[in-house]
Chain A
Amino acid sequence: DAGITQSPRYKITETGRQVTLMCHQTWSHSYMFWYRQDLGHGLRLIYYSAAADITDKGEVPDGYVVSRSKTENFPLTLESATRSQTSVYFCATRPGATPLHFGNGTRLTVT
């Protein structure tokens, strides 16, 4: 089925480790986004991408790295995980001037 797939759904990692969250879409939408959701903060934009090889920072980019070598994939990497990065991470896409479509999220716990 067409849509957005995020993997893994759940991840537990230790402080200081590198971890990569995957996002794959089957629509070939131009724009892709990474949000984190935290209690009391709603959703905050981490990074976004307008097309392959074009990425830009959002509201809370520190500690994260993204890449987009292919239109359909937009991985998010935590280079050295910290406890403050414990969160639920959502990937979203948009083809143009339409609302965002969200994946089901990755729940990340950093111990």
Chain B
Amino acid sequence: AQSVTQLGSHVSVSEGALVLLRCNYSSSVPPYLFWYVQYPNQGLQLLLKYTSAATLVKGINGFEAEFKKSETSFHLTKPSAHMSDAAEYFCAVSESGGGADGLTFGKGTHLIIQP
């Protein structure tokens, strides 16, 4: 069975500092991996996805993530945090990438940006 572990339920960084949100996955097959962002009182929006093409994936709003098979990780980074990045971030895994596979989500990481 697939699973996702997000390390740190809350991460606090200063504006302009590096953002690093950690995600480790477990999957019996080569996975599809996703990062979603959730702003208050809204649904989840896709930030980026890994589908076995390039291991370094670039997403929206300056975020990127690197797939490391040896470490079973898919950490999310952004070089310089902005106040508007404050939100909840979810890592998710899929073993089929589509169809009835509804994704398995991590428990989320709340990103706090300090001025």
Contact = CB atoms under 8 A, between A and B. Distances in A.
Interface in B1-48: 9, 34, 36, 41-46
Nearest to A100: B103
Interface in A71-98: 90, 92, 94, 96-98
Interface string B77-97: 000000000000010000011
**Max chain B C-beta neighbours (<10 A), residue from A4, A48, A50, A99:** A99
Chief secondary structure at chain A's binding surface: strand
Contact of B102 (A40, A100, A105): A100
Nearest to A59: B104
Nearest to A9: B41
B106 A42 contact: yes
A94 B49 CA distance: 14
B67 interface: no
| Interface size bracket, B side | 20 to 34
Contacts of A31: 99-100, 102
Nearest to B34: A99
Q: Which interface class (under 10, 10 to 19, 20 to 34, 35 or more) fits A?
A: 20 to 34
A80 B8 CA distance: 36
Interface of B: 9, 34, 36, 41-46, 49, 90, 96-100, 102-108
21 contacts: A4-B43, A31-B99, A31-B100, A35-B102, A40-B9, A40-B107, A41-B107, A42-B90, A43-B90, A45-B103, A45-B104, A48-B100, A50-B99, A90-B43, A92-B102, A94-B98, A97-B96, A99-B46, A102-B45, A103-B43, A104-B42
